[in-house]
Structure 1
Amino acid sequence: MSDPLAPPVFVSLSHLGILELKGKGAATLLQGQTSAQVAHANGNFAPLTCFCTAKGRVLANAQLWKVAEDHYRLMLSRDLLDSLLAHLKKFAAFYKVELRIAQEISLIGVIGEDAGHQMAQALEVSLPDISWHQAQSASQDAQMLRYPGLQPRWLACIPQAGIAALAAIPQASISQEESPWKLLDIQAGIAWVTSAQQDQFLPQMLNWEALGGISFKKGCYMGQEVVARAHFRGQVKKRLARAKVTTNTSIEPGTPVYDETGKSRGQVVVTAADVQGNIELLAVLATNAIEEELSLNIEGYPVSLLALPYPVERLDPETLVAH
């Protein structure tokens, strides 16, 4: 198999999409619904966040950034855009907020320093060098957001009118194969919930507080009481784990992970092929299966647990926005 991180280094991220919020009450609406402290989305820092049910289960996890006064964008799994839009519309009329799925915006994964500088120059955007921070064009239409990973990488948010700017990149070609970006997400310990996993996990089961995606210092939001109780009482019995399976057989999200006795210990959330053609993945597993290093398998293939690039402990986003 070819190296998934070889050129082209511009990757079309069609599995992700943008939900836009505009209006005087946009920040207030978001503040009551999302785990982020909305004031942290200040045009520089672009926090991770999530939306939950009243029982604290994740409806969608997302990245939030501010485009202009009273104008925000949420990036999340494309197949959750309609359901999150419907959820937020229940409250939008009270806050005089316009919600829409921004179909005209393209999301491009940019991998490597050279590719980052080329894209930034084409979009006339400065290049952010700190993870979860953003920079945008003078027109406020295009943004570049820095992501963590084993290679330098950015997410470029480009309106349809700006796609022509890619012609300025020498020999630029945009791959339609998302695996390189998904692999870097997996290696960074980042899992984006899809419709198949909606309403199944507490945010902590996705390590969302370890990524700075939950503010425990803000006021109430939907599901906050359950999320806070699980954190302060230590009631999270499942966690996101990184793993590898030596096979080139496709493994679908939702596939159970079993121990040697045949007992289910969790499920796969996202997968991607690595350089050798094997499968790297993130799975939500019982914490005792991780801590006791149980012998695990997926469809009979042995599972090797890999280290996450961050400690599984609370990371307050207040420390990240300070950068």
Structure 2
Amino acid sequence: MSWSAFLDTQSLLPTADTPWLAPVEHLTVVRARGEEADHYLQGQLSCDLRAVDQGAHLTGMHLSLKGRGLVSVRVVRDGDDYLMLTPDGMGEALIKSLMKYRLRAKVEFEQLEDLAVIMLGGELAPDLPAPGQSLRTPEGLWLRYPHTDHALLLVEAGEAENRWQTLSEGRNAVTPNGPVLADIEAGEGMVYPGAEDLFLPQVLNYDVTGGVNFKKGCYTGQEVVARMHFKGKLKQRMQRVDFTADLALQPGEVLRDGNGKAAGEVVISANTRNGGAALVVLRRDTDGVLYKDDTPLDSQLNELPYPLPWKD
């Protein structure tokens, strides 16, 4: 039975108290391999691969020359290769974006169709990696979130059913909505389809989560990003919003304040028991009371698991 066919046989809850596990369907995986993969990616992504080489996993962006994110990744070392988790539907865009500057560099990219991703929430085993770190075990490749009690497991699709059945003991089984909500709780935003070329890395708080490094040297779009960091004043950042209105929010969608003025753009949203939650890039002066067109979200700001370093 295929991994997708197996999941069709499972009774999955939309949300659940911890501990839980869920299939991750909002991300896909691209492998980078080749003797110059490390050097090449270091010059293309906003994060510092030297930390990844030491066992960390980091979010990062591949930027346009304007410094805006064309595509996001969560990058981790896997032996001599690198795996990049990127939003579903953007695997080919990621490869195309990175290939644009490859020239003669000895690096190849491949979207992996035979790799399953599972997320665990709550009561993580003590032998898993430390927060923000990765670890390969006989079960697969683990990536533990830095700020919340969540972990990803990357496993060959042929082994995913066995891993699921083992890990599901004592855990609620949750739909793919669960991992999206977990990313919102963790404040882990990415560039999803519909929001390309909108956000500086700092706008998605990558300067807080290690997704941009200001000492690593040059990479595509670096000058604009560095200029904002050292000389500019960031007027908007990604924040969490909870809402009770029965509305669907799409990445890149503009939300407005009570005066009809644009207040920010949606990064990603998920369902909750009381309505929905979203990561939204908001102006600093926004109070969290937002509207989609003329419809109120009945929304309020909620906390992220890390502080936002607003500059005065």
- TM-score range relative to shorter protein: 0.7 to 0.9
Q: Of the candidates 73, 82, 91, which is equivalent to residue 62 of structure 1?
A: 73
Q: What is the rounded CA distance, in whole Å, between the counterparts of 2:288 and 2:101 in structure 1?
A: 45
Instruction: Please list every run of 5 or more consecutive structure 1 residues that lacks an aligned counterpart in the other structure.
Output: 121-125, 315-323
Secondary structure of 2:100's match? helix
Deviation string 1:232-282 (CA, Å, 9 cap, x unpaired) is 112322211111112233333333221221111112221112233x11111
Q: Is the 8 A contact 1:149 1:185 kept in 2?
A: no
Secondary structure of 1:195's match? coil
| Partner residue, 1:42 | 53
| Partner residue, 2:9 | none
| Partner residue, 2:298 | 302
Q: What is the rounded CA distance, in whole Å, between the counterparts of 1:24 and 1:212 in structure 2?
A: 25
Deviation string 1:194-223 (CA, Å, 9 cap, x unpaired) is 121011111111111111211111110000
Tell me which amino acid in the other structure corresponds to 2:129. P
Q: 1:44 to 1:230 in 2, by over 3 A?
A: same
TM-score by length of 1: 0.83
Q: Is the 8 A contact 2:245 2:296 kept in 1?
A: no
Q: Of the candidates 108, 114, 128, which is equivalent to residue 118 of structure 2?
A: 108
Instruction: Please list every run of 5 or more consecutive structure 2 residues that lacks an aligned counterpart in the other structure.
Output: 1-12
Q: 1:112 to 1:23 in 2, by over 3 A?
A: same
Q: What is the rounded CA distance, in whole Å, between the counterparts of 1:160 and 1:43 in structure 2?
A: 27
Q: 1:294 to 1:184 in 2, by over 3 A?
A: closer
| Partner residue, 2:282 | 285
Tell me which amino acid in the other structure corresponds to 1:212. G
| Partner residue, 1:128 | 129
Q: 1:96 to 1:41 in 2, by over 3 A?
A: same
Q: What is the rounded CA distance, in whole Å, between the counterparts of 2:247 and 2:164 in structure 1?
A: 37
Tell me which amino acid in the other structure corresponds to 1:218. K
Q: 1:301 to 1:137 in 2, by over 3 A?
A: closer
Q: Of the candidates 72, 90, 93, which is equivalent to residue 82 of structure 2?
A: 72
Secondary structure of 1:95's match? coil
| Partner residue, 1:317 | none
1:130-169 alignment to 2 at 5 Å?
130=131, 132-137=132-137, 142-148=140-146, 152-166=149-163, 169=166
Q: What is the rounded CA distance, in whole Å, between the counterparts of 2:264 and 2:29 in structure 1?
A: 30
Secondary structure of 2:298's match? strand
Tell me the CA shift for residue 52 of structure 1. 0.5
Q: What is the rounded CA distance, in whole Å, between the counterparts of 1:274 and 1:163 in structure 2?
A: 27
| Partner residue, 1:318 | none
- Is 1:206 the counterpart of 2:239? The answer is no
Q: Is the 8 A contact 2:242 2:300 kept in 1?
A: yes
Q: Is the 8 A contact 2:288 2:300 kept in 1?
A: no
Q: 1:58 to 1:174 in 2, by over 3 A?
A: farther
Q: Of the candidates 59, 78, 94, which is equivalent to residue 104 of structure 2?
A: 94
Tell me which amino acid in the other structure corresponds to 1:79. G
Q: What is the rounded CA distance, in whole Å, between the counterparts of 1:281 and 1:170 in structure 2?
A: 28
Q: 1:35 to 1:57 in 2, by over 3 A?
A: same
| Partner residue, 1:319 | none
What's the Cα RMSD here? 2.5
Deviation string 1:40-65 (CA, Å, 9 cap, x unpaired) is 11252122221101110001221111
Q: What is the rounded CA distance, in whole Å, between the counterparts of 1:129 and 1:206 in structure 2?
A: 24
| Partner residue, 1:187 | 185
Q: Of the candidates 9, 13, 21, which is equivalent to residue 10 of structure 1?
A: 21
Q: Is the 8 A contact 1:46 1:133 kept in 2?
A: yes
Q: Is the 8 A contact 1:79 1:195 kept in 2?
A: yes
Higher helix share: 1
Q: How many residues align?
A: 295
Q: Of the candidates 237, 240, 249, which is equivalent to residue 239 of structure 1?
A: 237
Q: Of the candidates 23, 27, 38, which is equivalent to residue 27 of structure 1?
A: 38
Tell me which amino acid in the other structure corresponds to 2:162. A
| Partner residue, 1:320 | none
| Partner residue, 1:81 | 91
